């Protein structure tokens, strides 16, 4: 049986500013601007992209990640 860790995302606009929210495993939401979210994504690809390229898709817990759009 494969267990999946869900990563949920949402987008909101407050006072003319667009915010991207990310949450995993029931933790509190982390709010980022789209630019911050994109930079975080680039950093993660640079740091962890070799893992995906090598065909290893599980995280340290042995679970595969699944992106969930909560919006």
Domain ranges in the chain are 4-55
Give the global pTM. 0.59
Asked whether the beta carbons of 24 and 8 are under 8 A apart, the reply is yes
* pLDDT value for 16: 92
Output the average pLDDT for the chain. Answer: 75
What's the whole-number mean pLDDT along residues 29-54? 84
Cβ neighbours for 29, distance < 8 A, ≥ 6 positions apart: 10, 21, 22, 23
Give how far Cα 6 sits from Cα of 15, 17, 35, 41, Å: 29, 26, 23, 17
Element (H, E) at 7: strand 4-14
């Amino acid at each position: 049986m494969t267990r999946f860790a869900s990563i949920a995302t949402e987008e909101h606009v407050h006072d003319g500013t667009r915010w991207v929210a990310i949450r995993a495993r029931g933790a509190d939401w982390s709010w980022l601007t789209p630019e911050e979210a994109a930079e975080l994504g680039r950093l993660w690809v640079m740091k962890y992209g070799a893992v995906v390229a090598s065909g290893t898709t599980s995280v340290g817990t042995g679970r595969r990640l699944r992106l969930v759009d909560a919006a």
